[in-house]
Amino acid sequence: MEDLIWFAGVATCIKLLLIPSYRSTDFEVHRHWLALTSSLPLSHWYSDETSPWTLDYPPLFAYFERFLSFFAHFIDPKIVDLHKGLNYTADSVIYFQRLSVIVSDLFLYYGVYRLSRNLGFWRSKMLLVLIVWSPALFIVDHMHFQYNGFLLGVLLISLSFLEEEKDLMGGFVFAILLCLKHLFAVAAPVYFVYLLRHYCRGGFVKGCGRFFMMGVAVGMVFIVAFGPFLYYGQIQQVISRMFPFGRGLCHAYWAPNFWVFYIILDKVIAFMLRKLGFNIKAPLASFTGGLVGDSSPFAVLPQVTPLVTAVSVVVAMSPCLIKAWKEPRREHITRWIAYAYTCGFLFGWHVHEKASLHFVIPLAVVAVQSMEDARHFFLLSIVSCYSMFPLLFEAKEYPIKVLLLLLHSLLMWAGFTSQFSKVKASKTSTLTHKECVTKDSRQRKYSDTAKEGVMVVGWVGMSYLLGLLVVELWGVILQPYILGDRLPFLPLMLVSIYCSLGIMYSWLWQLKWIIKYT
């Protein structure tokens, strides 16, 4: 706990220094939700259109905003004024909302504490470095502005209960998470299969009893969250706000996932066919223009629908589901959940780049288990964080985001190298290879050492990471000098395409591990 307080204290100091930094439109979104939930009766929360930023999170998050609005009213009543507060940017609202994110990170710290308290001296500290000092969380929550730390903290709390075989509490907390942000539902199939096989066991009667208990626990959460809206006849409106499928396949800024390659392939084929004389019309909504249409605007390839993406996610997730069904082991649950969120990120509908945090943060828990996991996480976390750089496009934030990523990369390198070289030396001197494997079930069957005790990413991985530097130099220096104002979308496109390669590699690496070792 003392270590956690120290790490959290340092993180809080950094967050306080970031208060004056860039704020995205999400800042006004959440301020409006404070005003909306404070000024209107509950029955009008999901039908109000005073602002373009309508409420589209599940009810528990709306209740959370209502809770914050009590304090906001005392700080400055204009913050929660539905009409006068539109686009309000006084210091009072800036400090209040920034501090609300900082305070809500207590959930993240508690989740990390629960997961790290039974780890060894080094592993617990390394986990704090990876999560509490995550540069991606600093960028997304405390500069761009969101509440990902709060939500991911709830996820980590749920995973900690599952790792302790407290399945009922784990399922209950996950239900709370779903009613806070429905995008976490991607992992629901893994939760369902794992809890059905791991918790609802012990014979037909006992299994049915436990299934009933889990259903009651989860059902109570959904009744509390959605019950009032069902009473007021607003449930259909709530669902339509939560799932606005008309937003299109991709976000205006492409998330680095599989659909990036699909989009590029469509454009290449269309370009070639036009050169050959075919009459190929350009779609109404242009991905490269950063616009989002009401469909999937492809010129040649088949249109992609929400159903297609949902099926793609489930199919990609199926090896994990099969493993969870055949052998539901608690030591694998965090890895399975992270893999599920990776599948959702790669193949899902209208994915935001920030959603990579859903699998990067749980994989930090896995990263301290072995050198192979550490190598994988080292590359993935850098790629994920770099893919969010375009969110902060103002010049004054540029050195901040670069320094945050560089410092964290150095900390990871030093920490992983130091620990696993010691692990190798101690195990080599005291245990046989067979004993090394059986003593610690978390150190799996694959190689757990680095050459000469040094963490080696490998020449392929290092070359790929150096490629990030090339992409950045092109976007910041070379493109303005060579192309001027032409092709303004190119730097963003290059970031998305190049980072997609790293995320796809991570997905394949996780898939291989799940098939081979679980």
User: Computed from CA positions of residues 472, 474, 477, 479, in that sequence, does the dihedral angle turn out positive or negative?
Assistant: negative
CA atoms of 131 and 227, how far apart (whole Å)? 35
Contact 151, 60 (CB under 8 A): no
Q: Is residue 197 part of a domain?
A: yes
Q: Is residue 185 part of a domain?
A: yes
Q: What is the pLDDT of residues 355-410, one digit of tens each?
A: 999 999 999 999 998 889 999 999 999 999 999 999 998 889 999 999 999 999 99
Give the per-residue pLDDT at 437. 41
Give the per-residue pLDDT at 447. 41
CA atoms of 323 and 344, how far apart (whole Å)? 18
Contact 149, 357 (CB under 8 A): no
Regarding pTM above 0.85, the answer is yes
Please tell me the total count of domains within the chain: 1
Contact 185, 232 (CB under 8 A): no
Q: Is residue 289 part of a domain?
A: no
Give the per-residue pLDDT at 34. 96
Q: How far is CA 129 from the centre of its chain?
A: 17
- Residue 160 tokens, joined: 């900690």
Give the per-residue pLDDT at 115. 95
Give the per-residue pLDDT at 423. 56
Give the per-residue pLDDT at 435. 42
Give the per-residue pLDDT at 245. 76
Give the per-residue pLDDT at 165. 94
What domain range is 167 assigned to?
Answer: 1-243
CB-neighbour burial class of residue 440 (10 A; exposed 0-12, middle 13-18, buried 19+) = middle
Taking the alpha carbons at both ends of the chain, their separation in whole angstroms is 32
Q: What is the largest CA-CA distance in the chain?
A: 73
Contact 195, 165 (CB under 8 A): no
> CA distances (Å), 217 to each of 167, 186, 214, 234, 406, in order?
11, 20, 5, 24, 44
Q: Is residue 96 part of a domain?
A: yes
User: Computed from CA positions of residues 215, 218, 222, 224, in that sequence, does the dihedral angle turn out positive or negative?
Assistant: positive
Q: Is residue 376 part of a domain?
A: no
Give the per-residue pLDDT at 356. 95
Give the per-residue pLDDT at 121. 84
> CA distances (Å), 116 to each of 120, 141, 167, 371, 493, in order?
8, 23, 18, 18, 38
Give the per-residue pLDDT at 424. 54
Give the per-residue pLDDT at 290. 37
Give the per-residue pLDDT at 274. 86
What residue spans of 389-439 are helical by DSSP H?
A: 398-430, 433-439
Residue stretches of the chain with pLDDT short of 70: 252-253, 282-297, 421-456
Give the per-residue pLDDT at 375. 93
Q: Is residue 348 part of a domain?
A: no
Q: Which residues pair with 250 in a beta bridge?
A: 351
CA atoms of 98 and 145, how far apart (whole Å)? 8
- Residue carrying structure tokens 């299969």: 193
Q: Is residue 16 part of a domain?
A: yes
Tally: H helices and E strands in the chain: 22, 0
Give the per-residue pLDDT at 418. 82
Q: Is residue 77 part of a domain?
A: yes
Give the per-residue pLDDT at 283. 62
